[in-house]
Amino acid sequence: MARRTSMILGAALALLGLAGAVAVSRKAESPPASAAEPTPAPAARAVGETIGIWKPPPGVEELALWPGRPPDMEGAAKAAEFSKTGTNPSRFAGLPVTGVYNVSTPTMAIFRPKGPSRRAAILVFPGGGFQQLAIDLEGTDACDWITARGMVCVLVKYRVPNSNHHYDAACNCSVTPRHLTALQDAQRAIRLVRARAPSLGIDPGRIGVMGFSAGGYLVAQTSNIVEPAYPPVDPLDRVSSRPNFAMALYPGHLCRAGRSLDPAIHVGKQTPPTFLVQAWDDPTDPICNSVVYARALDSAGVPTEIHLFAAGGHAFALRRTGHGVDVWPALLENWLKEIAIL
């Protein structure tokens, strides 16, 4: 497959506001000039509800990622997991958005394909700044899209908060924790899916990853970091955790000081074909994140497709915005056909 890099610039449209967002990941390089990340606050929503531990829809299998206690839990927050749902009429097509907090027992939910199987699977990593997970906006919505095209969708509920490179309001700075527990969970989930390929009805060489915002950073990490981020816990950890294709939607945490790529990301010829989408007016994760990664992919000869839109803001996901960025799912579907997944 020949290397392909394309860029689409949408028409200049009005900037989307961020007020009232339930799940939005913060720019990793520095905080915005305003205040802290708009985490859910009842006063900022038309409707708000706090509920218990999030569970997938009925009939969807959910599995623990680890056979026992996950690795490197020392010092982790002891607060109980909960989820919070809110509705902001001016964003996310006016539909509810659910954030999941304090995940200490990571899981993966397996959504089976609708219609004829393509014998492929995509693991989905929701965003949330490694503080929370936008579990429906950037999780179940994506699984609905994926399964409608005949692929297995695996929604990964990875550990948060502070489980990877993140903004820390206490020091007004970016922090990289000693143990990247979100990456541990992402690697483990890919291994589990590959090991379960026969029972899932998929080809172990047709496993992709899709991530939004902070989840897009996990896409880049799993695409390029093949060394285990944790000591092996069982024979499954001998299975490869590198995906076969990758999709990062408005990724963050990649563009570091001096507008250079995160030095921990070493792109090479084994990096999988990658699809990138970002909006030029994203106030949370600037387009630098996609651009520096696309340049590294291009330099390594990795087949890459990048779409940059003039407007769309952050966390547009698959909800309609009225901007040109709304066409990105159709562009992704075409790309999946070109790499012979669809």
List the chain domain ranges. 42-338
- Helices of type H across 119-246: 141-147, 181-195, 197-200, 214-224
Rounded Cα distance between 240 and 204, Å, is 10
Q: Is the pTM above the cut of 0.75?
A: yes
Say which CATH topology domain 42-338 has.
Rossmann fold (3.40.50)
The per-residue pLDDT string of the chain (342 residues; one tens digit each, 9 = 90 and over) reads 333 333 332 322 222 222 223 333 333 333 332 223 333 333 333 456 777 889 999 999 999 999 999 999 986 767 999 999 998 887 888 889 999 999 999 999 999 999 999 999 999 999 999 999 999 999 999 999 999 999 999 999 999 999 999 999 999 999 999 999 999 999 999 999 999 999 999 999 999 999 999 999 999 999 999 999 999 999 999 999 999 999 999 999 999 987 999 999 999 999 999 999 999 999 999 999 999 999 999 999 999 999 999 999 999 999 999 999 999 999 999 999 999 999
Residues whose CB falls within 8 Å of the CB of residue 109, separated by 6 or more in sequence, listed in order: 56, 60, 61, 62, 143, 154, 155, 157
161 preceded by cis ω (within 30°)? yes
CB 280 within 8 A of CB 307: no
CB 276 within 8 A of CB 306: yes
Whole-angstrom CA distances from 116 to 154, 194, 213, 327 are 17, 20, 31, 25
Rounded Cα distance between 137 and 142, Å, is 8
Buried b (16+ CB within 10 A) or exposed e, 140-157: bbbbebbbebbbbbbbbb
Neighbour count for residue 77 (Cβ, 10 Å)? 16
